[in-house]
A and B are shown apart, each in its own frame.
Chain A
């Protein structure tokens, strides 16, 4: 995954790493959206297979994947608690008012497989693409400049601000501050306010320096687009795969 602007060497030289970002982003995003549209249980093994194959093209290790596979979010846990017990009519098992229902269980299975398959694709996509490559790809698919400029600038400052925030929290702890009660809200709000003020002061200096270098006065062209035939073949493979899945889901 993108980490402080770098991707590892093996990932950069892999099939996905060498794939032109302006074709890779639409190709893999198409597959990700196709996965999101799937409801047919019979297609789930193909989702897992396609995600696993794509990940094997990324040159990223299994250890990297496991590290990036965060615990399912709050909503997924909530759905796992609600769906099997409140959705559907076919009762599989009952204990008092609590009934395990087949339809809810199957819906949960579809959601879980889709969630993890998409996550694997996202990790493969962004583990082999740097943020500047991604911004170029986004601009190529006509995402407004305001979003891409904001994305690049924001990314530029995130690590610095996280480090500033950490330093301020350590300084507060050294002065005896302990965030263990609701009273901590006031010092935490002051820390946030301080960070916002110092960020703003810095942004003014950055903006002046950038203006001197010509930012905002010229329209910057995108780097030359020079794909090789293999880039188009990969795109065609992913379009075909997505089309087949959609065809099976909605027509057959």
Chain B
């Protein structure tokens, strides 16, 4: 879901950066509200960002192909509001080190991955609001959070490709392309949901504190 340089129109690039700047500022406001000294949490967030960076290189086999993980849902679940700056950093490093994604599309890509990550955080947060402590509730919420994060990200990417590329397609082709891209991501969303649910159950047993990284 990394849009490369060169395919997006100027207004979309500017809009993407403006939106990413606004969400980063709001994320920082929320982080400062949640943590007395936000610098204290940076080494931990950085290590987890690096861990996500490494884990995103894992390929899950679905014979005859394999898919690589997006992990925006898991990042939202574990990092909360920190997931948005963490995603910006991860995307910047991917663009610089491996030429995945792009620099001009960094703002757009951050929104495509970061907004679903924050949504995933709030979906997973339902467990605290409802007071549910059962592993099954955690697993179901983790699955739902990650599934929705991937589908929303794919939908945002599809809409951007269709409406923010310099060429124009007819209405029927646009509709078909959005539907096709969204359907193509459904298996990935299911796999990512199952993967996140297993990781959350693992962490619940081994280190539950890792699921409380939002400081709440």
Interface code B153-178, partner A: CB below 8 Å = 1, 0 otherwise? 00001000100011111100100010
B127 interface residue per 8 A CB criterion:
no
CB-CB < 8 A to B194: which residues of A? 185
Contact residues, B159-203 vs A (CB, 8 A): 161, 165-170, 173, 177, 191, 194-195, 198-199, 202-203
CB-CB < 8 A to B161: which residues of A? 75, 78-79
B92 interface residue per 8 A CB criterion:
yes
Shortest CB distance B169–A (Å): 5
Per the bound structure, the CA–CA distance linking A215 and B55 in Å amounts to 28
Contact of A76 among B7, B31, B39, B60 (CB under 8 A): B7
Q: Contacts A72-B4, A118-B5 known; A162 to B198 CB distance under 8 Å?
A: no
* Contact between chains at B90 and A154 (CB < 8 Å): yes
* Contact between chains at A36 and B104 (CB < 8 Å): yes
A46 interface residue per 8 A CB criterion:
no
Contact of A79 among B51, B57, B165 (CB under 8 A): B165
Per the bound structure, the CA–CA distance linking A150 and B169 in Å amounts to 40
Interface of B, secondary structure class, is helix
A87 interface residue per 8 A CB criterion:
yes
A153 interface residue per 8 A CB criterion:
yes
**In the complex, residue of chain B having the shortest beta-carbon distance to the beta carbon of A197:** B207
* Contact between chains at B7 and A199 (CB < 8 Å): no
Interface code A116-135, partner B: CB below 8 Å = 1, 0 otherwise? 11110011001000000010
CB-CB < 8 A to A189: which residues of B? 195, 198-199, 202
The A-B contact count (CB < 8 A) is 242
Shortest CB distance B69–A (Å): 8
CB-CB < 8 A to B191: which residues of A? 182, 185
A10 interface residue per 8 A CB criterion:
no
Per the bound structure, the CA–CA distance linking A232 and B101 in Å amounts to 30
Contact of B60 among A116, A151, A165, A184 (CB under 8 A): A184
Shortest CB distance A217–B (Å): 9
A144 interface residue per 8 A CB criterion:
yes
Shortest CB distance B176–A (Å): 9
A49 interface residue per 8 A CB criterion:
no
B63 interface residue per 8 A CB criterion:
yes
Q: Contacts A33-B13, A75-B161, A147-B89 known; A87 to B167 CB distance under 8 Å?
A: yes
Contact residues, A193-227 vs B (CB, 8 A): 193, 195-197, 199-200, 202-204, 206-207, 210-211, 215-216
Contact of B85 among A147, A158, A186, A188 (CB under 8 A): A147
Interface residues of B (CB under 8 A from A): 2-8, 10, 13, 24, 28, 31, 37-40, 42-51, 53-55, 57-63, 78, 85-86, 88-90, 92-93, 95-104, 157, 161, 165-170, 173, 177, 191, 194-195, 198-199, 202-203, 206-207, 209-210
